[in-house]
Amino acid sequence: MRLDKLLANKAFGSRKEVHQLIKSGRVSINGVQATKKDQSISIDVDEVMVDGVRVSMQQMYYVKLHKPAGYVTAVEDKIHPVVMDLLPPEYIKMGVFPVGRLDKDTEGLLLLTNDGVWGHSIINGHKSVPKVYELNYEGILSKEGLARIKEGILLGDGTQCKPATIELLEPGKAKIIIEEGKYHQVKRMISAAGGTVTYLKRLSIGTITLKDIETISTFIPLTEEEIGAFKK
């Protein structure tokens, strides 16, 4: 990869700004000051530094983020803040995108990657991946409504959901496990059963949980094991 492309990908500025950076002698390759913007860099071998700080050569990104309410699950939005605002700028440059979506007012576990095959295998994969949500609701979830959620509830627009697991935790609070990701699915399931969701949080996707990102807006890389679980 060309030196200027690497530095632009890693969010050191536009191509022009990166050329300036190299020209001003602030970039080194294996300890030697870089002079050529088109110098070829080997990702696996070379050590590139800017102002003495090592540039990460990471090319593939897999992270879990504790999404706060108020952020749109998108790379860009003209009006609202987006989840990518919570990650370093290099993530956008490297093509990282959210895997599936949480509504703007939903918080909790969101996966992001720049591995399209991996991301799409989670969204469209044939394997069913259980997603656990915690919710607060208003209204009454009748015995009959709960039974319909468990059997596979029919939504107002005629969409048929697969059977789900629901557990009432205390008045107005429930935990639900679904294996699909239809538009506003949990809210629409609860609504079809007589309630209105007032708070929604995703706790897990398969074996990936909010462990180590309990604080809202924090993120960490996924482990090899977590990544591998969706590659099988």
Q: Which member of 110, 187, 193, 201 binds ligand URA (CB under 6 A)?
A: 187
Q: Beta partners for 109? A: 66
Binding range to ligand URA, per CB under 6 A, among 26-34, 58-66, 74-82, 179-187:
179-187
Q: What is the DSSP letter of 114?
A: S
Please name which of 99, 108, 101 lies closest in space to residue 62, comparing C-alpha atoms.
99
Q: Give Cβ neighbours of residue 4 (< 8 Å, ≥ 6 apart).
A: 15, 18, 19, 22, 37, 38
Task: Identify the burial level of 90 via C-beta atoms within 10 angstroms of its C-beta, where 0-12 means exposed, 13-18 middle and 19 or more buried.
Answer: middle
CB of 7 to ligand URA, least distance (A): 37
Q: Which is closer to ligand URA, CB of 41 or CB of 72?
A: 72
Secondary structure tally for the chain: helices H, strands E:
7, 13
Q: Which is closer to ligand URA, CB of 113 or CB of 185?
A: 185
Q: Which member of 65, 161, 186, 205 binds ligand URA (CB under 6 A)?
A: 186
Q: Which member of 23, 162, 184, 211 binds ligand URA (CB under 6 A)?
A: 184
Q: Which is closer to ligand URA, CB of 99 or CB of 102?
A: 102
Rounded Cα–Cα distance for residues 41 and 2 (Å) = 6
Matching residue, tokens 């949080």? 201
CB of 172 to ligand URA, least distance (A): 17
Total residues found in the chain within this entry: 232
Residues 101-120 that bind ligand URA (CB under 6 A): 102-103, 106
Residue 51 annotated as catalytic: no
Catalytic residue among 46, 77, 85, 103: 103
Please report whether residue 201 would count as binding ligand URA according to CB under 6 A: no
Q: Give Cβ neighbours of residue 205 (< 8 Å, ≥ 6 apart).
A: 109, 111, 122, 129, 130, 131
Q: Which is closer to ligand URA, CB of 85 or CB of 103?
A: 103
Please report whether residue 210 would count as binding ligand URA according to CB under 6 A: no
Please report whether residue 200 would count as binding ligand URA according to CB under 6 A: yes
84: left (phi over 0), alpha (psi -120 to 50) or beta: alpha
User: What amino acid positions are annotated as catalytic residues?
Assistant: 103
User: Which parts of this chain interact with ligand URA (CB under 6 A)?
Assistant: 102-103, 106, 184-187, 200
